[in-house]
Structure 1
Amino acid sequence: MLNEMMHRPIVMQKVVDFMREGQLDFEGGLGEIEAYANELGIPIVPHETAKFLDFFTATMQPSQILEIGTAIGFSASLMAQHLQADGHLTTIDRYEKMYERAKENFKKLGLEDRITLIEGDAADVLPNLEGSYDLIFMDSAKAKYIEFYPECMRLLRQGGVLIIDDVFQGGTVLDDEAEIPKRVRKIHRKLNELFDTVLNDKSNRSTLVPLGDGLLMVRKEAA
């Protein structure tokens, strides 16, 4: 499950190298999980995106977080450390192997009581969730983002923030569809549909951040 887009930077390579090597490593168990994933090529957020999430969640101090796409639990663990005292994080993943590794990592970090891990397809899980989330982090099947988007906005509280990871496909999302390999054309179409939907929506506030393979951030303005 190698993430080939991590090796197709959307900004200058020397800037990417600086952001990945010039910022402090995470300490303790969190740093061990990141190093393990990078060594084996397990798709987690790259270091520059992780540092941004660390900064953003520490500043926001959310009470309720929802994550779509757990992998081995790195980003969930990173965000959970900045929850309010009575806060909770819910994360969804459909891959049993990832699910089990994440569960082990949450236990190792002492986070099993602060994180609920749901095994299943987000398409089935999201419509059954209730609640008001301060922060939603979506890092799952790229072709499904546009499908999950309305559910995310339903679950997000007014003033809450949705962060969508890996939206640029190494910059190829801007290319003509005819130039895109057939195996990833659906992703290309669906990401462009997501851009059209989000960036032209005047009822909410959105921005693009060129970290990793790109972040699309949405602040829910309307109730």
Structure 2
Amino acid sequence: MRNEMMYRPIINEDILHYLRTEQKQLTGKLGALEELAHENGVPVIPHETVVFLQFLLKQKQPKNVLEIGTAIGFSASLMAESIGKEAKITTIDRFPVMIEKAKANFEKLGLTDQVTLLEGDAADLLSTLEGPYDFIFMDSAKAKYIAFLPECLRLLADNGVLMVDDIFQAGTVLKDIEEIPRKNRAIHRHLNEFLEEVTKSPELTSTLLPLGDGVALISKNN
């Protein structure tokens, strides 16, 4: 399940190597999970995004967190460790193989009481949630970001932050669509729609960061 974009850096490779190797590393069971994911090519967030997310969450201290895209449970576990046991995390995934691995990892890390895993398609589940969530992390199907955005904003607390991962597609998001392989054009088109909305909407404040394959931070203007 190799994510090719993880291996096509959008910043200087020497800087990328420094960010991934010289910043504080994870330890214990969570560190072992990160290392195992990288060894097996599982598309978890890269280490520069790990460090940024830790910092952001420790400043924000959210009490109610929503994640769209559980994968093997690494980022949900990272968030749980970063903000402490008083916070609750709800995470959504639709792939049985990932769900099974995530459940096993939550059990191994002692997080089953703190993390609630919802099984199914986010397109169906988001409308059933009430929120509000202080922090939402979206790292799912890139072509669905624009479709999920309205529900994320509905669920987001007035002072909350929505963090969206993998928005640049290794920089190809800026290319003319005719240069994009046909199999990737839906992602390209919908990501451009998403970027247009979050950067231009008068109702939102956003910033884009070159972490990993690109990160967007979004908040609502109250």
For residue 42 of structure 1, give the secondary structure of its aligned residue in structure 2: coil
Moved over 2 A (4+): 82-86
Structure 2: runs of 5+ lacking an equivalent: none
Structure-2 separation of matches of 1:67 and 1:220: 18
2:165 corresponds to:
165
2:213 corresponds to:
213
- Alignment TM-score, normalising by the size of structure 2: 0.98
Q: In 1, are the aligned partners of 2:143 and 2:186 still within 8 Å (CA)?
A: yes
Structure-2 separation of matches of 1:88 and 1:159: 17
RMSD, aligned CA: 0.9
Greater CA drift, 56-65 or 80-89: 80-89
The one-letter amino acid paired with 2:54 is D
1:113 corresponds to:
113
2:21 corresponds to:
21
2:133 corresponds to:
133
1:102 corresponds to:
102
Structure 1: runs of 5+ lacking an equivalent: none
Structure-1 separation of matches of 2:44 and 2:87: 23
Query: Size of the alignment, in residue pairs?
Result: 222
| Residues 83-104 of structure 1: CA deviation (Å, up to 9, x unaligned) | 3553200000001111111111
Q: CA deviation at 1:221?
A: 2.2
| Residues 151-182 of structure 1: CA deviation (Å, up to 9, x unaligned) | 00000000100000000000000000000000
Q: In 2, are the aligned partners of 1:62 and 1:84 still within 8 Å (CA)?
A: no
- Alignment TM-score, normalising by the size of structure 1: 0.97
> Relative to structure 1, is the Cα distance of residues 47 and 84 closer, same or farther in structure 2, using a 3 angstrom cutoff?
closer
| Residues 106-133 of structure 1: CA deviation (Å, up to 9, x unaligned) | 1111111000001111001101111110
> Relative to structure 1, is the Cα distance of residues 83 and 24 closer, same or farther in structure 2, using a 3 angstrom cutoff?
closer
Q: CA deviation at 1:204?
A: 1.7
The one-letter amino acid paired with 1:80 is A
Structure-1 separation of matches of 2:180 and 2:212: 20
Q: CA deviation at 1:203?
A: 1.7
> Does residue 10 of the first structure (1) align with residue 6 of the second (2)?
no
Structure-1 separation of matches of 2:138 and 2:85: 23
> Relative to structure 1, is the Cα distance of residues 115 and 15 closer, same or farther in structure 2, using a 3 angstrom cutoff?
same
Greater CA drift, 11-20 or 195-204: 195-204
Structure-1 separation of matches of 2:10 and 2:85: 37
Q: In 1, are the aligned partners of 2:65 and 2:90 still within 8 Å (CA)?
A: yes
Percent of pairs with identical residues? 55
Structure-1 separation of matches of 2:29 and 2:84: 20
For residue 71 of structure 1, give the secondary structure of its aligned residue in structure 2: coil
Alignment of 1:72-87 (within 5 A): 72-83=72-83, 85-87=85-87
